[in-house]
Chains A and B, each alone.
Chain A
Amino acid sequence: GQQLNQSPQSMFIQEGEDVSMNCTSSSIFNTWLWYKQDPGEGPVLLIALYKAGELTSNGRLTAQFGITRKDSFLNISASIPSDVGIYFCAAPTGANNLFFGTGTRLTVIP
């Protein structure tokens, strides 16, 4: 099935730095979702976006629904060690399923 293109694939950053990642598609979506997966656990929903141009925050996390509806961005400010994990974007297929991005693996160096 179709997958969303996430970049970067992996990131190594120093604790305290800000992080930016994005997700792009050739298709238009009405919803963008961002999940975080800790090692050995299931993904947990971080932020849901429902409107083009929408900017939503959840603590140190901020996500934006691209104005073209073909992309979304996730920023993490002042990273801490527990931010380590894999971040996935997702968007609905229209058939009650989700397309998932390929994931961005974040490593935070103390």
Chain B
Amino acid sequence: DGGITQSPKYLFRKEGQNVTLSCEQNLNHDAMYWYRQDPGQGLRLIYYSQIVNDFQKGDIAEGYSVSREKKESFPLTVTSAQKNPTAFYLCAVMGGNSNQPQHFGDGTRLSIL
């Protein structure tokens, strides 16, 4: 969706290395989300943030960390503790009340070298 920028599009990680995926939005939305998608699978929630300086664990937070220092930015770090990081990572934003849809970025594909 326009207004949500994920970078890089492709990322490679070496064993034992931390990598950070970027998600930036210019939609002025409060809520931001990170999902993981494995091949042929649905979306699983990693972390989400409703407001600046606050975030909550999702269903599969282990091995990941996030920060929300600015409204526009919600970076995701895949740590070395995540033993199976190869996946497609999607960032989403949502504005307004809880019945509003989420809108997604174009994703980052992370692979292990």
Binding site for B on A (CB under 8 A): 1, 3, 30-31, 33, 35, 40-45, 48, 50, 88, 90, 92-98, 100-103, 105
From A44, A102, A105, give the contact of B104 (CB < 8 A). A44
- Shortest CB-to-CB span from B100 to chain A, Å, is 8
From A42, A90, A95, give the contact of B105 (CB < 8 A). A42
B15 within 8 A of A: no
- B77-107: which residues lie under 8 A (CB-CB) from chain A? 88, 90, 92, 94, 98-99, 101-107
Residues of B within 8 A of A90 (CB): 101-102
- B49-82: which residues lie under 8 A (CB-CB) from chain A? 50, 58-59
Bound complex: CA of A92 vs CA of B101, how far in Å?
A: 8
Bound complex: CA of A96 vs CA of B106, how far in Å?
A: 21
Bound complex: CA of A35 vs CA of B50, how far in Å?
A: 22
Would A88 and B42 count as touching, CB distance under 8 A?
Answer: yes
Binding site for A on B (CB under 8 A): 1, 4, 6, 31, 33, 40-45, 48, 50, 58-59, 88, 90, 92, 94, 98-99, 101-107, 109
| Cβ-closest 10 pairs across A and B | A42-B104, A31-B99, A1-B59, A100-B43, A96-B98, A102-B42, A45-B101, A42-B106, A42-B107, A43-B104
From B42, B50, B103, B105, give the contact of A100 (CB < 8 A). B42
Bound complex: CA of A64 vs CA of B43, how far in Å?
A: 23
Would B42 and A96 count as touching, CB distance under 8 A?
Answer: no
Bound complex: CA of A30 vs CA of B97, how far in Å?
A: 12
Would B98 and A95 count as touching, CB distance under 8 A?
Answer: yes
